[in-house]
């Protein structure tokens, strides 16, 4: 299944706010979860919607998300927590969290077009996994800096999480540590996502 490129507002009306996908917010009362006509949801649908929230927020294909779930399942620590850490430490997400891009798709475009350096070297892979002490900067180019400046000046501005430091005048971000789960920028029950895939593999 390919990456979603359809109407973004349609997704946030159904799933709620997805800041990585779009800065728009669903109107009050437009979320079908709050409407009586939606009826009682099955457990499968609840798990599916949590999975979809994660997928659309981070801009992943189904195959990519499944790959991350499998990696998290083999790592030490709670699978759900490790999964969120893996996704949050992607380069495209780090750029979004620093405010260098307004959305994750925009951050992916910056990386693909070679506007971003990690530790002084151009990285053009959005899924590049950042590590503590990595230094992320804009390429020393007027176009690269102008694109990032445009994002910095575009509201709304989210607080930079504590595992990152941003120096706006230098267009430079620092990764201080692995993200703490309380700073994940999405209201998500990651355990339901893990459960969704575990049940899929059993059927």
Q: Where are the domains of the chain?
A: 8-86+186-202, 91-177
Position 7 scores a pLDDT of 54
Q: How many CA atoms lie within 13 A of 103 on its CB side?
A: 15
Is the CB of residue 16 less than 8 Å from the CB of residue 26? yes
Fold of 8-86+186-202: Ribosomal Protein S4 Delta 41; Chain A, domain 1 (1.10.1050)
Q: Which CATH architecture has domain 91-177?
A: Roll (3.10)
Summarize pLDDT for 88-137 with one digit per residue, the tens: 999 999 999 999 999 999 999 999 999 999 999 999 999 999 999 999 99
Q: Where are the extended beta strands (E) located within 99-178?
A: 116-118, 121-122, 135-138, 164-167, 172-175
Confidence at residue 74, expressed as pLDDT on a 0 to 100 scale: 93
Q: What is the pTM of this model?
A: 0.83
Could you tell me which of 42, 85, 80, 86 has the C-alpha nearest to residue 198? Answer: 80
Residue 11 above 60 pLDDT? no
Tens digit of each residue's pLDDT (9 = 90 or more) over 24-64: 555 554 444 444 345 678 989 989 989 988 898 898 999 99
DSSP state of 22: -
């Amino acid at each position: 299944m390919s990456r979603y490129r359809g109407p973004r507002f349609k997704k946030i009306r159904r799933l709620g706010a997805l800041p990585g996908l779009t800065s728009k917010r669903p109107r009050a009362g437009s979320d079908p979860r709050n409407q009586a006509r939606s009826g009682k949801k099955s457990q499968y649908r609840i798990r599916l919607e949590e999975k979809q929230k994660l997928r659309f927020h981070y801009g992943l294909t189904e195959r990519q998300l499944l790959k991350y779930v499998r990696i998290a399942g083999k790592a030490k620590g709670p699978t759900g927590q490790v999964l969120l850490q893996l996704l949050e430490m992607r380069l495209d997400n780090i750029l979004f969290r620093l405010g260098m891009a307004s959305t994750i798709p925009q951050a992916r475009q910056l990386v693909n077009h070679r506007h971003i350096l990690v530790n002084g070297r151009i990285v053009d892979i959005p899924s590049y996994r950042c590590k503590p002490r990595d230094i992320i900067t804009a390429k020393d180019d007027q176009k690269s800096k102008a694109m990032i400046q445009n994002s910095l000046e575009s509201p709304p501005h989210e607080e930079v999480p504590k595992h990152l430091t941003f120096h706006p005048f230098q267009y430079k971000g620092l990764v201080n540590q692995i993200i703490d789960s309380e700073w994940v920028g999405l209201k998500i029950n990651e355990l339901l996502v893990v459960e969704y895939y575990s049940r899929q593999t059993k059927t």
